A and B are shown apart, each in its own frame.
Chain A
Amino acid sequence: MTVEIEARVAELVKPYAGKRSELIQALHRVQSELGHIPKAAQAVVAEALGVPPSQVTGVVSFYHFFRTAPAGQHTVRLCLGTACHVRGAERVLKAIQEELGVGLGATSADGMFTVEGVRCLGACGLAPVMMVDDEVYGRLDPKRVKRILREVGKDGG
């Protein structure tokens, strides 16, 4: 399994070989293919770009976008910006917790949803807002959130 991942990652980062400034680009590519960036993949990236493994791990852990463990089938990103807060983002979070049984930074027991808090998504006119995968949902209230999560869960199940 590890060998397989290593071979795949080595192929993915070929265009960035020896280019240490392209580290973030290379990691974007790995994550978009594997869904996350496991330890084994980080070592391969370090080797290929010629940077210390500690720098790769440092960068992966620094940026919110990168993850080291697989996410659930769907990712819920709840906007925690001020405009969403003033329009009730906390109530939306509560509804998510009630529906999925987990809060920010966790994956539901059935592996279906990962819940994340994100900084302002810039869709403040529709506050409060969340993204489920690449879809944006606005003007949320607790009832609507639960309905959306149920529908997404059904479709992608």
Chain B
Amino acid sequence: MKIARAHVLVGVDDEARLAGVDEVLAVLRGAIAELGLEGEVRVVETGTLGISGRGVAIAVYPDGVYYAGVTPADARTIAEEHLWKGRPVERLRLPTAAPVARPGEILGRQTRVVLANCGVIDPEEIDEYIAVGGYEALARAVTEMTPEAVIDEVKRSGLRGRGGAGFPTGVKWSAVRLASGPEKYVICNADEGEPGTFKDRLILEGDPHKLIEAMAIAAYAVGARTGIVYVRGEYKLSIARISRAIAQAREYGLLGPRILDTAFSFDIEVRPGAGAYVCGEETALIESLEGKRGWPRIRPPYPVTHGLWGKPTVVNNVETLANVPEILRRGAAWYRTLGTPTCPGTKVYTILGHVRFPGLVEVPMGTPLRTLVYELGGGLPEGRALKGLLIGGAAGAFLPPAALDVRMDFDSLAERAAVLGSGAILVMDETTCIVDMLGSVLRFFRHESCGQCVPCRAGTDALVRLMAALQAGEGGERILSQMVEIVDAMRLASLCPLGQSVALPVCTAVDGFRDEFLAHARGNPCPRCWANAHPREGAP
């Protein structure tokens, strides 16, 4: 790497592309060349800077100045004023909590482990990842540690699966290690599809090498030679970046035969999905990899003993894996200094809906919901009041404002019968109709139910019909008890978490916002529901 006086980091993700980042980059580079700054200032295309919904975002280092909503004309101004004359452009500058904003402190106090490199390094250059300590953990693992020692370290770190269920990662690895058979697989579940969630996409786009390193470590630990990244087909940029990263790692001998001159061989392939929410469920994902419909399998046996092609298989979520290299590099004891005793580490959230700063944040486990919404999300726009929150995606819980002091970790949420789920936090102001929101969630489940088992197939359809009646002001109060009865049956009898988890949004919405549901049941007109149930008449 050449040493430059200043680095200009430009966040390039799908959102920035839409906001015209390509043109901004062209103007920025042109201006830098014109001003003769080419040798001094380096422009780096990186992943998200953690600022969402504010157009093109740029950071200038070492000054630690962040700009948002940058247009091509602004890019020229930034080059002339800031890069050439050294005067930050206050008009475009983003307020940050700290006087000198380090990446970890943008938009408040974050602790970045998983996202440490996102928006800091160029994800298309393996050298940049190596320069910040990348592949150190893999090298240590394969040259100094036994597979058992690696598993032990992960176990002691207390890392739990971030895909939603919170299962201890080390225990999963250990089961695969102990399973018999020479052929084993490591699968990275990047089939992100929970509504309101895009953390995995931004990790894949912002730091793909971290994932490769983690998968290689997992493979070494369990004794696998083949890894597969199952990624959502719509995530074009993610697919391109991870594929490029894999090719670079192969060139450097960090993937392929005899990694770092040891007896350990491992390689990774990328498989795009074809659009089915249920394939985020691990056994459905495995079916899909085998070229079949994504129908969840009956468990047990579990994938740790009977996974892909019936062989022992680790399936880990993107965010879970992204924790692994730092755990090995800095040790389980360090990892345990973050988060809570039963849920160590950090969690990545997407904060959305009616907040001032929607976007991606990473904070320690156990951070209160209130901090996330009001400090990191900036609270609601001025003059708006909070009505409720939907936490954990569509298969999540509707919470009333009284729940704002809940701590966000697996166990504290379980006490409130809620889940961390995908880490999506949807904030809803007083103009939102919770009944209408639940209707949207239920239509989603009906659409995505795979149709294999009757409770889910018939249950989601019945729920949508009942909701339609409720929204039309017909049917009376008994609809509420009918809905609860149906989801109870689905929770007990559905084959996979898709059908089982529908109970969560339904019960929390009906319990937490009972008055609103009763008002609908009694036929009180609701403008929101009226508009959505009668698409032609309700146009404003």
A interface residues with partner B (beta carbon < 8 Å): 20-25, 27-28, 49, 51, 55, 58-59, 62-66, 80-83, 85-87, 90-91, 93-94, 97-98, 117-127, 134-138, 142
| Residue numbers in A under 8 Å from B424 (CB-CB) | 82
| Residue numbers in B under 8 Å from A118 (CB-CB) | 234, 275
Residue pair B535, A83 in contact (C-beta under 8 Å):
no
Residue of A nearest to B350 (CB): A124
Determine which of B201, B292, B440, B536 lies in contact with A122 in the assembled complex, contact meaning CB atoms within 8 Å: B201
Q: Within 8 Å of chain A (Cβ to Cβ): is B63?
A: no
Residue pair A137, B195 in contact (C-beta under 8 Å):
no
Q: Within 8 Å of chain A (Cβ to Cβ): is B358?
A: yes
Residue pair A63, B195 in contact (C-beta under 8 Å):
no
Determine which of A28, A62, A87, A142 lies in contact with B353 in the assembled complex, contact meaning CB atoms within 8 Å: A87
Interface membership of chain B positions 223-248, coded 1 if the CB is closer than 8 angstroms to chain A and 0 otherwise: 00000000001111000000000000
A114 to B: closest C-beta gap in Å: 15
Residue pair B274, A65 in contact (C-beta under 8 Å):
yes
| Residue numbers in B under 8 Å from A93 (CB-CB) | 535
Residue pair A27, B274 in contact (C-beta under 8 Å):
yes
B509 to A: closest C-beta gap in Å: 12
Residue pair B198, A90 in contact (C-beta under 8 Å):
no
Knowing A24-B288, A126-B18 touch, does A90 contact B394 (C-beta < 8 A)? no
| Residue numbers in A under 8 Å from B273 (CB-CB) | 24, 63
Determine which of A27, A64, A124 lies in contact with B352 in the assembled complex, contact meaning CB atoms within 8 Å: A124
Residue pair B437, A123 in contact (C-beta under 8 Å):
no
- Given contact pairs A24-B271, A81-B196, A125-B15, enumerate 15 new A-B contacts (beta carbons under 8 Å): A20-B291, A24-B274, A27-B274, A49-B291, A51-B291, A59-B292, A62-B450, A63-B273, A63-B276, A85-B437, A91-B531, A124-B196, A124-B350, A126-B53, A137-B18
Residue pair B274, A86 in contact (C-beta under 8 Å):
no
Residue of B nearest to A139 (CB): B53
A62 vs B100: C-alpha distance in the bound complex, in angstroms? Answer: 52
Q: Within 8 Å of chain A (Cβ to Cβ): is B14?
A: yes
The total of interchain contacts (Cβ-Cβ below 8 angstroms) comes to 143
A153 to B: closest C-beta gap in Å: 20
Residue pair A80, B443 in contact (C-beta under 8 Å):
yes
Q: Within 8 Å of chain A (Cβ to Cβ): is B290?
A: yes
Can you name 8 A-B residue pairings with CB atoms under 8 Å? A20-B290, A64-B274, A80-B447, A82-B393, A83-B352, A86-B428, A90-B531, A94-B539
B457 to A: closest C-beta gap in Å: 13
Determine which of B18, B198, B437, B540 lies in contact with A82 in the assembled complex, contact meaning CB atoms within 8 Å: B437
A119 vs B277: C-alpha distance in the bound complex, in angstroms? Answer: 8
A73 vs B350: C-alpha distance in the bound complex, in angstroms? Answer: 35
Residue of B nearest to A131 (CB): B234
A23 vs B15: C-alpha distance in the bound complex, in angstroms? Answer: 32
A58 vs B538: C-alpha distance in the bound complex, in angstroms? Answer: 39
| Residue numbers in B under 8 Å from A81 (CB-CB) | 195-196, 444
